[in-house]
Structure 1
Amino acid sequence: MGKKISWLIWGLSASWFIAPAQALDDSLGEAGINANQLHQPPYDLIGRKIAIGQVEIGRPSFFGIDKAISWNYKLLPAQVFYRDTPAKTDTDVDPHAAMVAGVMVSNDKTLKGVAPGARLYASAVGSPLKSGQPEECLSAQHVASQNGGDVRAINFSFGESLQRDSRSESILDGNALLTQCIDWSARVHNVLYVIAGNQGSGGIPIPTDHYNGITTAYSTQREGVFTKVDFANLSAAPLG
């Protein structure tokens, strides 16, 4: 089962490298959230003068800091960090974080993101072996305070398992440190948190039990339209 899931995850990741333009165009086009229409006149909504944030295990690369630049050369974050400090050269650079950032702000002609005109502030929490909910909370607060304290939304495409929670009896009741952290930050920093909805056996449900943000999951296409929540959000292969 472990090998099967590993191959599944590798296959999903590989599909981005094989045809990232098609995948992003499908997601942002009429079959998906149709953000492409909002980029066009008369709306012309591309995120100008707007700041958004990203907190991940790793971070996208940054021209001038990293020697190995992201696969998407039109991806230009405003700033990148390691938790609450400036990022170090070629440290914590992660392809997954780069792909997520690309969906958010890429300005490539064939890989245009949801808000290609927005300023992106990204923080890497670092290896799970050396970090946990306190470091994740610190990273989130730091991103929320950027751009003069005016960051509209922060994306989490990671989370914490109940097994790693420090409480003796861990349940999704809104009381995990990271959950309380983002609920507090949403109110104090006036920012919308968008949290990955992966749950199930081996999932990352914390902080999906938050109150002041949005928990989201990714969907799969049925007859060319994204209408069904993908089973990979359960972090386990389907049975039957």
Structure 2
Amino acid sequence: MRISELIGSRVLSLAGAKICGVVCGVRLSSDLKRVKAAEVFPESDDGCDRRFLDIRRVRSVGADTVTIVSESALTDSAPAFSPSPVNLPAFSETGEPLGRITDIVTDGWTVTALCTPEETFSLRDVLSRSGELIVFRAPGSHTRLPRARKTPQPKSTVTEVPAAVPEPVYPERYAYLLGKRPAEEVTDTSGARIAEAGDVVTAGVIAEARDRGAIARLTASCLKRVSP
């Protein structure tokens, strides 16, 4: 499965017989090997905040719909997992630009490969990564990078609570919309235009839609199959 096939799927609560939102992204384990949670966006303009779905609570995945037993599977708090690498710039270890990460290939919920516009790379090909970009090994490369040294910290008797992964700010959190084209004109609640039908969605369009309470309309228009 490709994660792009999951994006835009409606989340159906079987117990409530209702659509709870639209899958707009995923969160991965820190080593990128597992899909751990889905980000779910509301279909209506009544609320613009995402909720999160633990992948273990997914009952089934269809062509356009993900089913869960009940809406209680969705939580408001962001899980401490890594944001999706989709849309991160990618480079080879020789410095060659490879474009951006466009998709994630999975076997079940296990990540097997990352895609750029021209190539598909196994996770074994990842040489290094950060929150800003990913570097892939050159073909046949056996490069080994030194591990970052940990600075010894003084022992403390105070119990520390692990910090959650920082929430990406928009437009990064809505990166799944970048480059898409709305099927129809998108306006805010007052009728003021935000994007024309067919316009390419940019970071500026996303930020404006979010600030003016129209991000749900922009999402529905770009993901036409989930429109009512």
TM-score (norm 2): 0.23
The structure whose residues are more often helix, as a share, is 1
Bigger radius of gyration among the two? 2
